[in-house]
A and B are shown apart, each in its own frame.
Chain A
Amino acid sequence: MMKPRKCASDQWNYGRISLGSHVFDTFNVIGLGLLCLLMIYPLWYVLCCSFSDPSMLMRHKGILLFPLNFSLGGYEKVLNYKRLWGSYLVTFFVVIVGTGLNMFFSILFAFVLSRRDLLWHKLITGLAVFTMYFSGGMIPTYLVVKAVGLYDTVWAMIIPGLISTYNCIILRTAFYGIPDSLEESARIDGAGDLRVLFTICVPLIIPSVATVALFYAVGHWNAWSSALLYIRNEKLMPLQMVLRALLIQGEAVEVTGGQDLQTELNNMLLKYVVIVVSTVPILCVYPFIQRFFTKGVMIGAVKG
């Protein structure tokens, strides 16, 4: 009987362990642990700062391991920050409606791409794939968005990116995996194309559909460039644009007019709080969606 393998190149599989191998293992485990601390520390630092007393934070020197003088003051202030919650609503709308539309059209188009029996199959695929490598660029796309009347509407964050060719290829690859006989039997029973698609094919590729839906949803959640280019109305700004104004452009959270130290300290604190409030939701679902992402990367890596 062979021992179960723990690590492919491991000498333990072969019965003799050298000292060098032990030393390597020890350093490897410690090194990777340090790497993890290094990766996670900026996030922990922000979390600690958000629970700290801002005036103590200002004077602090050295590494911060725990909140200084634990307080929830920043969170209380952020609760009343209307602009942030308004932008949350916009982002929710874009994530839900946008992802829904994305998925509807992507599934339809992927189904078209998966039909190799079409006479024009190559032409249709070619038209889609070409756009992955060449695009009109920022300015002409902006002019088109303006010309079709999407400018400064919430749809400007949804329609211009309606179909991602990359995601369609992921779905098409999944459609390819469905045995032809299944489709044929449904057709013999009198099902049309759309019925075959939605009652036979889509239920069979739910894992891929979920993966692609997550790609779109996370994309919408993180998106800000379409709002940067196409949105002027403050009320339509998505979460990430408001975050940009606060975190990057240094806009004051509270517009109380005063430039005194207390306001400045509060603004510094609120930046940390805003980061936490906007990032925690996605990090909470992250353990659940991680495996879908891993899967998506793998499908994408397979040549279309």
Chain B
Amino acid sequence: MKKQVAGRMPSAVILPRKSFRQRAATDFRKNWVIYLIALLCLSYYFIFRYAPMGGLAIAFKNYRPARGLWGSSWVGFKWFEQFFSSYYFPRLLRNTLTINLLSLIIGSSLPILLALLLNEVRSSAYKRVVQTVTYMPHFVSLVVACGIVLNLLSYNGLFNQILGLLGKSPVAFSNIPEYFPWIYVFSDVWQNLGYNTIVYLAALSAINVELFDAAAIDGCNRFQRILHVTVPGILPTIILLLLMKVGSMMSIGYEKIILLYNDAVLERADVFSSFVYRYGMLGGNYSYSAAVDLFNNAVNILLLVIFNAISRRASDISLW
């Protein structure tokens, strides 16, 4: 808790500042209802958000459910050392970075492109139709979306029906490890392309139209106007979103991974979070997988802080 400096004011000020205790008392008398509500809500945070952080101690212990958190013995960095020297670590690292890099390149650039193209559509009715339709897959739940994707890729699914038309023998797409990152990223594009353009379209609509007039008077053609007015107009938004994406380079949620993967593609599909789920929740190795999770979370927050600082230095754009 930050210590408040009690009233040491220059002597020129006539009214001396009240001491911290006095101010706290007045504040509490005035706002006690608010503090009561705050206590109620913060108790949720303490139980379900901060208690698990304290529970991370099991990453440094040999946790046995029978002995409880306090009764288990300390083992220091044993689990971390074990994880870093296992063959899982390079594999999980490679898969996490591959999938995130692909989705950074493909998943982040396509919404920008779509927003720019939509911005050039003359008929506002057509624009709205395209927006509504591309936005639609976002409302299909993740489970169903993955179910549809796996179905389309299955032996008698759409893709193999098309291959059959071309006279090719069927391929089990979802069982080929090398395809997994692409399936993951493109199914993400399908679900979220329309949704991700919203923020760019809003940034586009905020551009001052006089800038286009000025560019036209200066002799810019349509393409040059896009390049020199439209793109710089949404550049801060692009940078902010890229920053968030790069900052979360090491994190992938386990939900979609465990929906899409199977034992055949584990080698390319397994990431930190899915590993934690499989080893911790299914395998019961609580301490070991909590250590993996802690490592992953720590790297994530570190990356976020670093990239935020870089961006703030370079462009004055930052998350906080």
User: Which residues of the other chain, A, contact B48 by a CB distance below 8 angstroms?
Assistant: 141, 144-145, 159-160, 162
Report the minimum CB–CB distance from B113 to chain A (whole Å).
Answer: 10
- Tell me what chain B mostly uses at the interface: helix, strand, loop, or mixed: helix
Selecting from A72-80, A172-180, A296-304, the interface stretch reads: A296-304
Given contacts A193-B31, A271-B151, contact A139 B280 (CB under 8 A): yes
B78 interfacial by beta-carbon distance below 8 Å: no
B314 interfacial by beta-carbon distance below 8 Å: no
Report the minimum CB–CB distance from A65 to chain B (whole Å).
Answer: 12
B14 interfacial by beta-carbon distance below 8 Å: no
A215 interfacial by beta-carbon distance below 8 Å: no
B264 interfacial by beta-carbon distance below 8 Å: no
Please indicate which of the listed interface residues A5, A12, A61, A240 has the most CB atoms of chain B within 10 Å of its own CB: A61
- Tell me what chain A mostly uses at the interface: helix, strand, loop, or mixed: helix
CB <8 Å contact, B152 and A45: yes
User: Which residues of the other chain, B, contact A222 by a CB distance below 8 angstroms?
Assistant: 141-143
Contact of B120 among A10, A39, A221 (CB under 8 A): A10
CB <8 Å contact, A108 and B230: no
The count of residues in chain B whose C-beta lies closer than 8 Å to any C-beta of chain A is: 106
Q: Mark A55-84, 1 if CB is under 8 A from B, else 0.
A: 001101111100000000000000000000
Give A119 to B28 CA distance when docked, in angstroms.
9
Give A140 to B50 CA distance when docked, in angstroms.
10
Please indicate which of the listed interface residues B139, B237, B320 has the most CB atoms of chain A within 10 Å of its own CB: B139
CB <8 Å contact, B129 and A144: no
CB <8 Å contact, A192 and B33: yes
Question: CB within 8 Å of B: which of A146-191?
Answer: 148, 159-160, 162-163
B40 interfacial by beta-carbon distance below 8 Å: yes
B312 interfacial by beta-carbon distance below 8 Å: no
CB <8 Å contact, A60 and B161: yes
User: Which residues of the other chain, A, contact B310 by a CB distance below 8 angstroms?
Assistant: none
User: Which residues of the other chain, B, contact A137 by a CB distance below 8 angstroms?
Assistant: 52, 56, 276, 290, 293-294, 296-297
Selecting from A92-100, A120-128, A252-260, the interface stretch reads: A120-128
Given contacts A61-B161, A243-B141, contact A32 B297 (CB under 8 A): no
Q: Mark B10-30, 1 if CB is under 8 A from A, else 0.
A: 000000000000011001100
Report the minimum CB–CB distance from A260 to chain B (whole Å).
Answer: 17
CB <8 Å contact, A115 and B31: yes
Give A123 to B31 CA distance when docked, in angstroms.
16
CB <8 Å contact, A25 and B117: no
Give A293 to B137 CA distance when docked, in angstroms.
14
User: Which residues of the other chain, A, contact B123 by a CB distance below 8 angstroms?
Assistant: 6
User: Which residues of the other chain, B, contact A124 by a CB distance below 8 angstroms?
Assistant: 38, 42
CB <8 Å contact, B198 and A134: no
CB <8 Å contact, A139 and B120: no
CB <8 Å contact, B52 and A247: no
Report the minimum CB–CB distance from B18 to chain A (whole Å).
Answer: 12
Name the CB-closest residue of A to B277.
A138
Contact of A138 among B54, B121, B281 (CB under 8 A): B281
Report the minimum CB–CB distance from A31 to chain B (whole Å).
Answer: 7
Contact of B51 among A136, A272, A294 (CB under 8 A): A136
User: Which residues of the other chain, B, contact A128 by a CB distance below 8 angstroms?
Assistant: 45
CB <8 Å contact, B130 and A35: yes
CB <8 Å contact, A287 and B132: yes
B105 interfacial by beta-carbon distance below 8 Å: no
CB <8 Å contact, B41 and A118: no
- Pairs of residues from A and B, 6 with the lowest C-beta to C-beta distance, nearest first: A136-B52, A247-B147, A140-B55, A137-B293, A140-B52, A109-B41
The 17 listed contacts between A and B (C-beta, < 8 Å) are: A8-B207, A11-B221, A12-B122, A24-B120, A25-B122, A35-B130, A61-B164, A111-B34, A123-B1, A124-B38, A135-B49, A144-B55, A193-B31, A221-B141, A240-B143, A272-B151, A282-B139
Q: Which residues of B contact A (CB under 8 A)?
A: 1-2, 23-24, 27-28, 31, 33-35, 37-38, 40-42, 44-45, 47-56, 58, 69, 114, 117-124, 126, 129-130, 132-137, 139-144, 146-152, 156, 158, 161-162, 164-165, 190, 193-195, 198-199, 202, 204, 207, 209, 212-213, 216, 221-223, 225-226, 229-230, 237, 254-255, 259, 273, 276-277, 280-281, 286, 289-290, 293-294, 296-297, 301, 304, 319-320
Q: Which residues of A contact B (CB under 8 A)?
A: 5-14, 18, 20-21, 24-25, 28-29, 31-33, 35-36, 39-40, 42-43, 45-46, 57-58, 60-64, 105, 108-109, 111-112, 115, 117-120, 122-124, 127-128, 131, 133-145, 148, 159-160, 162-163, 192-194, 218, 221-222, 224-225, 229, 240, 243-244, 246-248, 268, 271-272, 275, 278-279, 282-283, 286-287, 290, 293-294, 297-298, 301, 303
Q: Other than the known A45-B152, A115-B34, A131-B45, what 5 A-B pairs have Cβ atoms closer than 8 Å?
A: A7-B120, A32-B118, A63-B158, A144-B51, A279-B144
